[in-house]
Structure 1
């Protein structure tokens, strides 16, 4: 019953992990090539780039995923095609408009807000990204709706490979921050090429019935029908895009406020900390991507048992993996930053410790948000996120001038805690589901106990590597002893082990050792 969710989530977790590693290669390379000041300027472009993409896509990819999943389950290929084609047209039009807008506003933003003339050209080059990113976003939403998670990973692989290689080459060639931005544009362009090919290969046949079935299965949509589809998409997507913008504000308020009040090098320190702290989000994003169409399908089938299973499994998968990751990050913040970005960025270590806790809260919020969208309640995360983002903005403006970059980290963490508490509570009530508190409590206890063990380790790179090797044994061992390991966890571990190649034998030995404690 949970195989669709588990398989989709696992593929995305595995692929997103590799993608994030590649993203770290990109950021590590940029941080070392550009230095804290140049990297700080590059970090200013990311909030603007993400904001522009979110506005241009109008929040439609989640809407595409939801409605494609529903109409395909109802065997209505014409409505599936209408959802896809109308969404793509809307997104392309918006993408072109906002590309012009950001090009015109680049200079006023760089000079007026950041007081940095070196940011003008990189901001202008952001306009190159939007036309390609909106098409990629629409096609990824389509793949999500058909549970074709592998195709999403393929497009991300193309995006990453060309982004990294082109950006590094251009920065080496002397194009500084502008070269890094152009690399991102090329990455999206090649991802678009891959997505179009995969759409033709894997989706076209699903929405075009064979000729012998065409006469009795096809119905022509009228202009009014298409208007209703567009209205349906907009009604769903408007709160989603507002939610997305608020989410971006939650992520990037610290960087923007620091960029306004402090030198760009401080923004570089903060962005390094934020980048590392967000690592666990690849887990929650992968599960959230799978649970949205899964929840929508369960709702359309009126199957509460299936819905409850999807929800509980989603929270458990995320907590099971993310909690020990966050604890380990808090303990080894300095050597992590030193290993990845160099000693020049160690001033961001304390911010990383604070943000690691905040991202733990935000991962659970992310799952709740996706479930709420799948249940047809996109306004709920929107309202909660707007409230939390407002708290973050107010606290950042107060705390950053007073205590520096740590103020931005504290503001983000407090806001994330508020978001998680409110939305998780409301989503569970909406779905008529109760969390097994004792099970989740055991995960927390095992993670904290592991962290206490690692507190005795010296804060060096060698001991960090040792902790990475020992952490699965310590964490799973403690979890097994206190009765927190379930039989489904063991099955998931075996599935993960089967993908590890030569390491599978060693990992399987560990799993068999703890399997006897599983419930």
Structure 2
């Protein structure tokens, strides 16, 4: 492999690592602030918050979620050819599209809040939180254009920093606003005769206010970066000597035709969540379940289970975002070797993280629920035990989604998502109607959906790219190392918990046992991956802190 290609591969993984680290930090911050938020608004408040967020997410997907990926793809293709002026036209065209789509979406959500939450999802009080979220759709659309532009230029740093800043502001504002509005909601409920529900509803609105404020902060930050970068951009434009410039009449059709397949695939890919909620709540109501029990179950699912599952999924999302520009450039240059290597490297990177996260969540399900959410209910832990495996499936399917878009097979994920969605809905009906599994039907159906998407997308990637996945290094090694880690973590936790609970409270003993067992598990996994040849020096160096990790491995005689 020549030096240029090695730099290309390393750069692509490093950019993915930067965005992955930012996403992980953001998700961890999100996980941390959800602890006091849940303590303030309760499981019912989580249901209102989750319901508003599900509707917001679907409208966001339809209106502007596909913009960053589409912009990064179009910009990177033009930058690879040295067509800087055309790349800036893509930016301007995308901004106009974002203003229109984001503005229309905001208006629809604000004025249709009662219909979406009350009529469709049987959770009318969630309308308060949804109305607070409505303006965010315009902000996020514009923000997405600038993030996509910088990603197309080959740098993930502006997106990464803005993402962390957005989540930090979100965390602070959410907790403070939820506390203040929860108290206000009590007063409103006292007048209307329903204290607990109105307090939870206004508290949830405080949580969504954090999302709006965080997005606005991120937009301000990335605009500052863009204006600081304009001098460099002008110099790049001056060096652009090609003669046949694209007009906006050329740009808009290409932009729209790039956005639509991405929009369809991401919408179908993510719409299952809101379909789940509609089916679950309506069927549970018809089956005679108490509405409060159903509301609390959904609150645990969205406010605890999905929050935990989404932390490791941030890596797959980040790797997919960084893969698209680099794969597009390699694909347009007809460099098949680079395409194959980057696909293999991305899969390996994601699986090294996804397997231990899945096993860890399943093995420590009950301790984690108790530690983070003060939830000792066995039903809550069982959600993680059943659904933990979906971390691996969703990680692979998310990555393969991005890879297919990067190699111009943008309609394939749409077809696959539709097939998986139909099978998912059918299974959910059967599990709820025939087996009466209530919330666990949703967990199992979600895992099945992710598995189908994983299989269909990966098959398409291998078929159209010609890549071959090294099963031993990509799948078997992390699976074996994770299984060993899971066994050690399980034994260490229960041994420590049994000893520590004698001299301290159950919660404190659980805290120490969790932290120690997780640290021991990380060490065991690292050593096992090296022993099972699942990771080598070249791959290790591409991780953040890779040089230090290699030094430790050499000192332990695990690398030669």
Q: What TM-score, normalized to structure 2?
A: 0.85
Offset from partner CA, 1:331-375 (integer Å, 9 cap, x none) = 111111111111266532111122210121110111111111010
Q: Shift in Å at residue 157 of structure 1?
A: 2.3
Change (3 A) 1:464 1:377: same
Change (3 A) 1:160 1:256: farther
Aligned to 1:407: 441
> Aligned pair 1:268/2:275, yes or no?
no
Q: Shift in Å at residue 437 of structure 1?
A: 1.8
Aligned to 1:119: 126
Aligned to 1:501: none
Which of 192, 197, 211 is 2:224 aligned to? 197
Aligned to 1:247: 269
Q: Shift in Å at residue 212 of structure 1?
A: 6.6
Q: Does the 8 Å contact 1:274/1:355 carry over to 2?
A: no
Which of 446, 452, 458 is 2:487 aligned to? 452
Q: Shift in Å at residue 445 of structure 1?
A: 1.5
Change (3 A) 1:305 1:206: farther
SS of the counterpart of 2:541? helix
Change (3 A) 1:344 1:89: farther
Distance (whole Å) between structure 1 residues aligned to residue 28 and residue 109 of structure 2:
30
Offset from partner CA, 1:460-490 (integer Å, 9 cap, x none) = 4433222211112212222333333322233
Q: Does the 8 Å contact 1:68/1:142 carry over to 2?
A: yes
Aligned to 2:358: 326
> Aligned pair 1:229/2:229, yes or no?
no
Aligned to 1:183: 210
Change (3 A) 1:58 1:437: closer
Aligned to 2:178: 171
SS of the counterpart of 1:343? coil
Aligned to 2:196: none
SS of the counterpart of 2:533? coil
Aligned to 1:141: 148
Q: Shift in Å at residue 66 of structure 1?
A: 0.6
Which of 388-397 and 329-338 deviates more? 388-397
RMSD: 2.2
Offset from partner CA, 1:263-312 (integer Å, 9 cap, x none) = 32111111111221222111111211111111001112111111111111
Which of 295, 306, 315 is 2:327 aligned to? 295
Q: Does the 8 Å contact 2:354/2:391 carry over to 1?
A: no
Q: Does the 8 Å contact 1:485/1:517 carry over to 2?
A: no
Change (3 A) 1:399 1:212: closer
Q: Does the 8 Å contact 1:338/1:346 carry over to 2?
A: no
Structure 1, gaps ≥5 residues long: 499-503
SS of the counterpart of 1:403? coil
> Aligned pair 1:487/2:509, yes or no?
no
Q: Shift in Å at residue 92 of structure 1?
A: 0.8
SS of the counterpart of 1:148? coil
Which of 521, 524, 536 is 1:474 aligned to? 524
Q: Shift in Å at residue 194 of structure 1?
A: 0.9
SS of the counterpart of 2:443? helix
Q: Does the 8 Å contact 2:41/2:203 carry over to 1?
A: yes
Distance (whole Å) between structure 1 residues aligned to residue 479 and residue 320 of structure 2:
21
Distance (whole Å) between structure 2 residues aligned to residue 481 and residue 143 of structure 1:
39
Distance (whole Å) between structure 1 residues aligned to residue 371 and residue 279 of structure 2:
27
> Aligned pair 1:27/2:59, yes or no?
no
Change (3 A) 1:453 1:162: closer
Q: Does the 8 Å contact 2:432/2:438 carry over to 1?
A: yes
> Aligned pair 1:284/2:316, yes or no?
yes
Offset from partner CA, 1:1-26 (integer Å, 9 cap, x none) = 21211210121122112111111123
Distance (whole Å) between structure 1 residues aligned to residue 23 and residue 65 of structure 2:
24
Q: Does the 8 Å contact 1:257/1:400 carry over to 2?
A: no
> Aligned pair 1:432/2:432, yes or no?
no
Q: Does the 8 Å contact 2:423/2:449 carry over to 1?
A: yes
> Aligned pair 1:78/2:85, yes or no?
yes
Change (3 A) 1:264 1:325: same
Q: What TM-score, normalized to structure 1?
A: 0.92
SS of the counterpart of 1:75? coil
